[in-house]
């Protein structure tokens, strides 16, 4: 508990991976589903059709988020694995060179020659690959890419985000639908921005303003398109 208070920042960075995926997923779910609903409703579609469009948007969006995250995080993971494999081979082929290389890294970070060499020797004796992965390649437990975790997190977050405007469709009278869904969705976005910023230790008002602005823009655009095509068709 005391340690937590002395170094709060050391615990926040470990959340970055899933926090980023969760906030992005929920944000996407709210913005795209609310925009879809507002667009379809603005075209004067009956509420039942609006609801079906929204549900289809939820399913499609969650699947697409999962696939997108999986592919992008997998390629990051492949790169890391390839780097580690190369490093493992170099450590086997040329351990002396690798020791010099690691010691040189510590010298650049401010240790003197003798100490740097000693640190490099001891770390390599303990786990040579881990030492090189962390200090030469910048790969650690915290930063390691996890494709399945990222895919599931963003799909679930998207579904939760998308469920919010859908719930509003069920609860609003049809003549107020566009207004209630847009206003409530902007409220959800602001809340999400604030929660995400708090959890990540970032600036709360700035993060809130950022997500709300993009959400409002997306809904205004689709509402405009819906109204345009609704009257034309
Ligand atoms: Zn190396």
C-alpha 126 – ligand 1 centre gap (Å): 15
| Tokens at 75, concatenated | 């390629």
Centroid of ligand 1 to alpha carbon of 16 (angstroms): 27
Q: How far is the CA of 117 from the centre of ligand 1 (A)?
A: 14
Rounded Cα gap, residues 119 and 113, in angstroms: 10
pTM of the complete model: 0.73
Q: What is the DSSP string of 53-83?
A: HHHHHHHHHHHHHHHHHHHHHHHHHHHHHHH
Residue 116 Cα to ligand 1 midpoint, Å, equals: 15
Residue 3 has a pLDDT of 43
For each successive 10 residues of the chain (233 residues), what is the average pLDDT?
Answer: 46 65 87 91 87 95 93 90 94 94 96 95 94 90 80 92 94 88 91 84 85 87 84 59
Q: How far is the CA of 128 from the centre of ligand 1 (A)?
A: 9
């Amino acid at each position: 508990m005391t340690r937590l208070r002395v170094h709060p920042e050391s615990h926040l960075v470990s959340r970055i991976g899933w926090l980023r995926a969760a906030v992005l997923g929920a944000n996407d779910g709210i913005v795209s589903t609310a925009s879809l609903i507002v667009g379809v409703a603005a075209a004067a579609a009956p509420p039942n059709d609006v609801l079906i469009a929204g549900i289809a948007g939820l399913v499609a969006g969650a699947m697409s988020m999962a696939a997108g995250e999986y592919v992008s995080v997998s390629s990051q993971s492949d790169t890391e694995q390839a780097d580690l494999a190369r490093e493992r081979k170099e450590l086997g082929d040329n351990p002396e060179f690798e020791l010099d290389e690691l010691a040189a890294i510590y010298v650049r970070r401010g240790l003197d020659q003798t100490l740097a060499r000693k640190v490099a020797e001891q770390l390599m004796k303990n786990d040579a690959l881990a030492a090189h992965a962390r200090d030469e390649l910048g790969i650690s437990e915290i930063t390691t890419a996890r494709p399945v975790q990222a895919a599931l997190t963003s799909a679930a977050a998207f579904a939760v985000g998308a469920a919010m405007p859908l719930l509003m469709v069920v609860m609003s009278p049809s003549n107020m639908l566009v207004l209630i869904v847009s206003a409530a969705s902007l409220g959800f976005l602001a809340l999400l921005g604030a929660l995400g910023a708090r959890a990540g230790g970032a600036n709360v008002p700035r993060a809130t303003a950022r997500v709300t602005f993009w959400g409002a823009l997306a809904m205004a655009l689709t509402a405009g398109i819906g109204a345009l095509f609704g009257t034309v068709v």
